């Protein structure tokens, strides 16, 4: 039971990561994201961070999910 739940959670995390990578992969190569003192990151650097699942990658995932949820809420309100 627990293993099944863990697998489901893991799959969900992977799906989120894939979604965020897909969104990042269509950015212009000239676009950079400056994230505070962590630095400025190119498209490819952002993708690498998300795929690595490090702190920056998780921050980007969090921002993307928050945006998609708010966008969904706005669309529903129209």
Partner 1 sequence: MMLVTRPDYDPGTKYLSSWSQILIEEARAKGIEVLDLPGTKATKSEFEGRLKKKQPSLVVLNGHGNEDCVTGQEGKPLVESKVNAEILSSSVTYAVSCQSAARLGREVGGYLNTAYIGYEKKFSILHSHGYFKRPSEDPLAKPFMDFSNHIVRSLLKGHTVEESVRRAKEVGETHLRSLETSLSDPDIQMAAAFLSRDISCLVAHGDTVKCIIY
Interface residue list for partner 1 (CB under 8 A): 23-24, 26-40, 59, 63-64, 66-68, 70-71, 74
Strand partners, 41: 33
Alpha carbon distances (Å) from 57 to 3, 11, 46, 60, 61: 26, 17, 7, 5, 6
Q: How far is the CB of 31 from partner 1 (least distance, A)?
A: 5
Main-chain phi, psi angles of 57, to 5 degrees: -60, -45
Q: How far is the CB of 53 from partner 1 (least distance, A)?
A: 17
| Closest to partner 1 by CB, 8 or 67 | 67
Q: How far is the CB of 12 from partner 1 (least distance, A)?
A: 20
Tokens, residue 32: 């950079």
């Amino acid at each position: 039971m627990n293993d099944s739940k863990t697998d489901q959670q893991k799959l969900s995390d992977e799906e989120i990561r894939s979604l965020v990578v897909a969104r990042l992969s269509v950015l212009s190569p000239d676009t950079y994201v400056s994230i505070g003192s962590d630095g400025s990151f190119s498209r490819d650097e952002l993708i690498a961070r998300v795929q690595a699942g490090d702190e920056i990658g998780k921050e980007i995932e969090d921002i993307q999910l928050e945006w998609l949820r708010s966008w969904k809420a706005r669309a529903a309100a129209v």
